[in-house]
Amino acid sequence: MKIFRSYFYFNTMHNLVHGKIKVINKKNVKIGSGCSINEGVLIQGDCGVVIGNNVVLSTGVMILDAGLNFDMLTHQCKRVHVGNKTFIGNNNWIAAGAIILPGVILGDNILVGAGSVVTKSFDSNCVIAGNPAKLIRKLN
């Protein structure tokens, strides 16, 4: 655990990492306590990623906070990263293969369905799924 902790900020030692994960720009990634991160997770920290407490990131989850600037008029990629911080609240489960795009803010107690592409922010206590992700139901 000492080697892994040196990569980026962990709130406590009560986090579990199962297999190999990739963290880009580790200094901009903050992870709360009680989290479980599974094999193949990618966390991009160009602009900043904050993950709350007791979050489960299932196999193959991608959390992105930046992308390339594409000019729709000239159809050219300017090769400049643009983006926003990405926030994931407490007690969330991001199921296998889900992608969280830049600037998304997820509240607490959210289940993100497997393979979902989350393009916008969602309030707490809900189930979301799909491409793009939409509200499936509110939780009590």
Active-site residue list: 75
Distance CA 54, CA 50 (A): 13
Distance CA 22, CA 42 (A): 5
41 φ/ψ angles, rounded to the nearest 5 degrees: -70, 140
The H or E element containing residue 88 is strand 86-88
